[in-house]
Each structure stands twice: as structure tokens, then as C-alpha cells.
Structure 1
Amino acid sequence: MTTFRQQLALALITATATIVAAGVPVIMGLGNKSSLKSPSVSATSTTCDKVTVAKVCVDNLTVQFNSNEPQQVKNRDRILLKAGDTLRLSNLTYCIPFKAPVNRIEVKGYLFPNGVESYKNGLFTPSNFPINAACHNIGNFQKIWKLEAGQHRVSIPIIKNVGSNRIVDDSFYFNLDVGQ
């Protein structure tokens, strides 16, 4: 019986050491996405790291041009394309910090052709947006944009509802230079 207890104790010590070495916080139930001391949403480096503690932000966006492989776009990127190319929003990752008060999240993508801010050309998704403190992926945007020549901007505002107030918490955008 003593040997079994020693083996069990050794196995528990080894498992605990492995978890601690991997950097997974297990004490008091704190996960790496809800730490009270860190202003960032997760322990890994994200584009949301510089955002204030109570602000929802877009961490990254994956788009697909034509039928090419999806690629990640960073905030404020400038992308060169040609007229007739298509653009599809594939996957959006947004993060909600632990201290952000949120009742509801809305995410919509807008194409502003030639720098004119018109909210008529939007991409929407039927997805439900989780509002718990963590980073979430949303996909299945329903429309594809066919691009005309010119300089365009794709803007993705993150709108949170706090009570009856609607607040634009973050705006992710990238620019398209579409040649003939």
C-alpha cells in the first residue's frame, strides 16, 4: 500500500510540475484570459494588448481574396489588388476583457469605396456573439464584395451594448488599393 501511495504522490507531483512549467495557471481558477492584474485579454501577445482593460477589441481578421487561401490582415494594413477581385471576410477574432461591461456585441464589416463613408455596403453575419470575458471567433459573413478600381477602406466597428447605450468600442480597418 505504501508503494501505491508513493507512486500516486510522485504522479501528482510530476503532473503539477508539468502544468506549472507549461505556464497554465491552475491556482484559484484563474485562466489566462481573465487575469485581473493584466490589462491584456490573454497571456499571449495580441493586438488587443495595448487596449484599455474595459474595451472590447478586434484581435485579428482573416480574409479571402478571390479563391486564394485565407490570409490574416492586421489593423491598418494596405493591400494591393486589381479590379474584379473579390473579398470575403472569413473569420474575425474579438476579445472581451474581464472588466468590460457588455450586454450584447455587434460586428459588421463595411466597404467604403473611394474613401466615402457610406454604410450601405455592409457585410453581416447571423452568428451569435458570445459576451463572456475571452477571445471569440466569428465567421460566416454572408456576402462577398466584388472590387472596382480605386482606393477603398474596409471598416469593422465593434459595437457593445451596455444597458440601453450603444458604444463603438473599437474600429478595425484596412485599406485596399485596387488597380485596373
Structure 2
Amino acid sequence: MKAFTKKIVLALIAAIATIAAAGVPAIMGPDKKSSPEPKPSVTATSTTCDKVIAAKVCVDNLTVQFNSNEPQQVKNRDRIPLKAGDTLRLSNLTYCIPSKAPVNRVEVKVYLFPNGVESYKNGLFTPSNFPIHAACHNIGNFQQTWKLEPGQHRVNIPIIKYVGSNRIVDSSFYFNLDVGR
């Protein structure tokens, strides 16, 4: 009988320890009064693109529109299936300048490389002046569109910063288009 009682006591201790480790909300449901975890805001010191290098000017966010569909956000290195004849328009581009990045001028260009050929003929440009103070900035007046042909294409978005007379190009942001017939 004593062995049976010891097993029950040990089982109860294990159950209480499990409940304590999980926390009371796991049993009673989430606390309605507590607010959810605060989400980090996109600022000059906390962006999704400057986590690795604090002094790197980078593309943080890109919104495109295919045909007349709703604009959609594209992430770095995405692969997007489309059809021949579809059109691509850049709606909005957000780039960020961290506070530690020394910059005296910024340019952002968007190029379509058809079938893996790096040709700088198919570019989308904007007449905007690019702000250079530490923060995230939106640019949304890209005027041209691309009519897509069949094949595998890469859209490359180099961001060019000038520090003094030095020109530094970072073309790490890109996405791929798989255009079928």
C-alpha cells in the first residue's frame, strides 16, 4: 500500500511541476488583460534588413502589382509564377538607412534580367529624390511597367550608396519570376 501511495504522490508532484512549467494561462486560457508581445517597429535602428550589418543601407520592403491585381508584398529571394503577357509594376519600395550608416547620397534601381542574362537595359527608375537621413523611407512613383515574356527571370534591386566619393553597390535583394506560356 505504501508503494502505491508513493507512486500517487510522485505522479501528483510531476503533474504540478508540469503545470507550473507551462504556466497558469495554459490551463485557464490566456490572460485577457495582458497585451500581446510588442512587435518591433521598423526604425533606423531596428529593421529587417540591418540585423546583420548595422551600417548597411538596404531594401526592407517591396510591394508590386501584377496586371491589375491587388498589390502584394514581395520578400527577398521569392519565386513568383506568372504567365506570358502579364505586366509587373512596382508600387512601393521601402529602404532603410541605419543610424550608423554614413551616407551622402542613395539611389535605388530595379532591373529585370531575362532568362538569367544580366542586362541593364530593362530598368525601372523613379524621379524621386532619395532621403538620406537615418530612417526607413518609402518610394512609390516608379513610372514604367514590364510586360513579361516566357522564361525564368530575376528582378534585381541594387541599392547604391555614396560615402564621400566612394560608390558602394549592394544587389542582395532580388526575386525570381517563372513566366510560363
TM-score range, shorter chain: 0.7 to 0.9
1:153 Cα shift?
0.2
1:144 Cα shift?
0.2
1:142 Cα shift?
1.3
Distance 1:130 1:172 in 2: 20
Compute the TM-score of the two structures, normalised by the length of structure 2. 0.75
Distance 1:55 1:76 in 2: 18
Amino acid at match of 2:90: L
Aligned to 1:105: 106
1:172 Cα shift?
1.1
Secondary structure (helix, strand or coil) at the match of 2:132 reads: coil
Percent pairwise identity: 86
Q: Deviations over 1:38-94 (max 9, x none)?
A: xxx32xxx4314230111011110000000010000000000000000000110000
1:169 Cα shift?
3.4
1:168 Cα shift?
1.1
Q: How many residues align?
A: 143
Distance 1:156 1:32 in 2: 20
Distance 2:172 2:163 in 1: 17
1:32 Cα shift?
7.8
Aligned to 2:66: 65
Distance 2:172 2:57 in 1: 10
Runs of 4+ in 1 over 6 A off after TM superposition: none
Amino acid at match of 2:66: F
Unaligned runs of 5+ in 1: 1-22, 24-30, 35-40
Compute the TM-score of the two structures, normalised by the length of structure 1. 0.75
Distance 2:171 2:100 in 1: 16
Instruction: Find out whether 1:135 has 2:130 as its counterpart.
Output: no
RMSD: 1.8
CA contact (8 A) 1:102 1:131 kept: yes
Pick closer, same or farther for the CA change 1:161–1:79 going to 2, 3 Å. same
CA contact (8 A) 1:107 1:157 kept: yes
Matches within 5 A, 1:21-170: 33-34=43-44, 41-42=45-46, 46-170=47-171
Secondary structure (helix, strand or coil) at the match of 1:48 reads: coil
Secondary structure (helix, strand or coil) at the match of 1:125 reads: coil
Distance 2:152 2:171 in 1: 22
CA contact (8 A) 1:102 1:161 kept: yes
**Which of the pair has more CA radius of gyration?**
2
1:173 Cα shift?
0.3
Secondary structure (helix, strand or coil) at the match of 2:49 reads: helix
Q: Deviations over 1:139-176 (max 9, x none)?
A: 11111000000000000000001111110135310000
